[in-house]
């Protein structure tokens, strides 16, 4: 108790010794969608993650940080507000956390209130929740991509399928439900794609190019910044340039040793693969409880 009190008292003494206040640090906040801790920095020997591993080696790695909800919107809303999903009453993909907590202060909003220029690109909150109160300027977007740019395809056979689907939908008069707020089509094809093209043919790669340019711009403003960059991968579909697929021998990737459902587990606790079955090459698979 005495030691703690001494430490607390030392802080004003130490700060008083400094001749000038250090400049506030800039913050680059990177969000990654559906990334599990199968990374080298968490001891995984299969996944090749040299850049994240290097970042972890020079920073802090949390080993007991648990997701508040295994659903995108409530998980992100909880993380960025510091409130539990039950407190903000967000349990699905549609509810805006401000419907029940209009005065909640988010992480980027807190920085904005404290002299930072706050800006975001990509998936920070869930797609349908832009939350303008968090940002000092409109959230960045890349022209030509749908509002939800996860299902973007480049292989000719997939583009041909999508064009065929568009024509079928138009003929049936159902195009309104497949065109987003930006006027772009949103359709899914297969769950995986491999093309021998550069990173920036997909949204995440293109976003990285834009983010790097934005960092240069923010650096020149002479004001501290909070920059949230949200990546869509490794969320489905698993579409990536060939060079990343070539890093792995698929036959050598170990499967889970235990593929059985826990005894007595309720069905609501089981992933029913609903999202995966939304892709044309997996529509035939059975539910987990059906074997």
Q: Which residues are catalytic?
A: 72, 126
Separation CA 72–CA 22 (nearest Å) = 37
Buried b (16+ CB within 10 A) or exposed e, 16-43: eeeeeeeeeeeeebebbbeeeeebbbee
Q: Give the residue among 97, 145, 95 at the shortest CA–CA distance from 122.
A: 145
Separation CA 120–CA 139 (nearest Å) = 5
Q: Give the residue among 151, 161, 160 at the shortest CA–CA distance from 127.
A: 151
Q: Give the residue among 69, 138, 137, 134 at the shortest CA–CA distance from 106.
A: 134
Separation CA 251–CA 100 (nearest Å) = 49
Contact 120, 135 (CB under 8 A): yes
In the chain, what's the furthest Cα-to-Cα distance? 78
Separation CA 281–CA 136 (nearest Å) = 42
- Is 187 strand, coil or helix? coil
For the chain, the straight-line distance linking the first and the last C-alpha, in angstroms and rounded, comes to: 58
User: Nearest 5°: phi and psi at 222?
Assistant: 70, 25
Q: How long, in residues, is the chain? A: 291
């Amino acid at each position: 108790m005495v030691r703690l009190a001494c430490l607390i008292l030392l802080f004003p003494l130490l700060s008083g010794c400094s001749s000038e206040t250090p400049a506030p640090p800039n913050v680059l906040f990177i969000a990654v969608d559906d990334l599990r801790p199968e990374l080298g920095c968490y001891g995984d020997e299969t996944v090749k993650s040299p850049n994240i591993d290097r970042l972890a080696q020079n920073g802090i790695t949390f080993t007991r940080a648990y997701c508040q909800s295994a659903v995108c919107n409530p998980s992100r809303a909880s993380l960025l507000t510091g409130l539990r999903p039950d407190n903000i009453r967000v349990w699905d993909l549609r509810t805006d956390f401000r419907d029940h907590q209009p005065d909640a202060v988010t992480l980027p909003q807190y920085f904005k209130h404290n002299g930072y220029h706050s800006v975001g690109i990509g998936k920070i909150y869930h797609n349908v929740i832009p939350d303008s109160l968090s940002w000092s300027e409109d959230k960045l977007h890349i022209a030509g991509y749908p509002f939800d740019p996860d299902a973007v395809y480049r292989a000719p056979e997939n583009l041909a399928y999508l064009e065929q689907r568009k024509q079928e939908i138009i003929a049936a008069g159902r195009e309104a439900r497949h065109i987003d707020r930006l006027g772009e089509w949103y359709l899914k094809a297969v769950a995986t794609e491999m093309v021998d093209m550069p990173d920036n043919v997909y949204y995440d790669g293109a976003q990285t190019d834009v983010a790097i340019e934005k960092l240069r711009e923010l650096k020149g403003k002479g004001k501290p910044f909070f920059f949230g960059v949200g990546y869509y991968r490794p969320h489905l579909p698993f579409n990536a340039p060939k060079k990343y697929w070539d890093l792995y021998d698929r036959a050598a990737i170990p499967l889970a040793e235990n593929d059985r459902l826990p005894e007595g587990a309720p069905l609501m606790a089981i992933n029913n693969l609903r999202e995966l079955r939304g892709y044309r090459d997996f529509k035939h698979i059975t539910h987990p409880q059906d074997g």
